[in-house]
Amino acid sequence: MKTVAMLAVLWALPVIVLAQDGYTLVKKPVVPELEPGQVEVIEFFWYGCGHCNRFEPYLNSWLERLPEHVVFRRMPAVLSEGWIPHGMAYFVSAQLDRLDTLHSRMFAEIHDSRKGLSTEKSLRKFYAAHGVDSSAFKRSYHSDAVQEQLEAAVLLGKRLGITAVPTMTVNGKYRVSARTAGSAEEILDVVNRLIRKEAALSRQDTEQ
């Protein structure tokens, strides 16, 4: 599979970490295309990660109070070959317009029901149990669109220096994890601070 070959190359690239107060700086920022005043926040996760599963309630509560100028995206991290099926599953759910229900159910199935869902066969059964026709799942899973989205996620994660999950990035410039922030709960405190910082910088740029 082309994706696996590309992953092998990307995982071999060096990652440089610059320590800061509660976050690390991305060496070469990945500047998002945004409207003036907007701030982008990305959460990198893996369905098989227990820390990500425990972080979900905090994240969902935070999302309920998200300011309008914040553009939030979830992004599956793919830090090893074994993470590929879960990354593909996320993009399959998005393509089938089922993320609203299946994202949380993937976590529950893996961590509460103790099902790995780490193969195409097990994922097909999971989707079928939630009303997705097996042929529709197979077409989506093997589609060029899902492959391209997965490869883009891998590349973005590497460019942003993602080495652990959950990790959140702000405007492609700052990386925040439990390791840098102190705990999963404190990730969001640091992210909020960085959002305010980036919003203020954007206002200054607009006024000049």
Domains of the chain: 2-207 (3.40.30.10)
3-state helix, strand, coil in the chain (%, to 5): 55, 10, 30
Q: Is the pTM of this model over 0.85?
A: yes
CB-based contact 54:86 (threshold 8 Å): no
Specify burial of residue 97 (Cβ count, 10 A radius: 0-12, 13-18, 19+). exposed
* Pairs from 109-114 (Cβ < 8 Å, separation ≥ 24): 110/47, 110/48, 110/53, 111/50, 111/53
Of the listed ranges 10-19, 109-118, 141-150, the least confidently predicted one is 10-19
Average pLDDT, the chain: 91
Q: pLDDT per residue over 175-205, tens digit each?
A: 999 999 998 889 999 999 999 999 998 777 6
> What's residue 9's pLDDT?
46
How do 18-19 and 24-25 pair as beta strands?
antiparallel
Which DSSP helix (H) or strand (E) runs through 169? Answer: strand 167-170
pLDDT category, 29, cuts 50, 70, 90? very high
Specify burial of residue 61 (Cβ count, 10 A radius: 0-12, 13-18, 19+). exposed
Q: pLDDT per residue over 150-168, tens digit each?
A: 999 999 999 999 999 999 9
Number of H helices, E strands in the chain: 9, 6
- Mention every residue, 6+ apart, whose C-beta is less than 8 A from residue 189: 22, 181
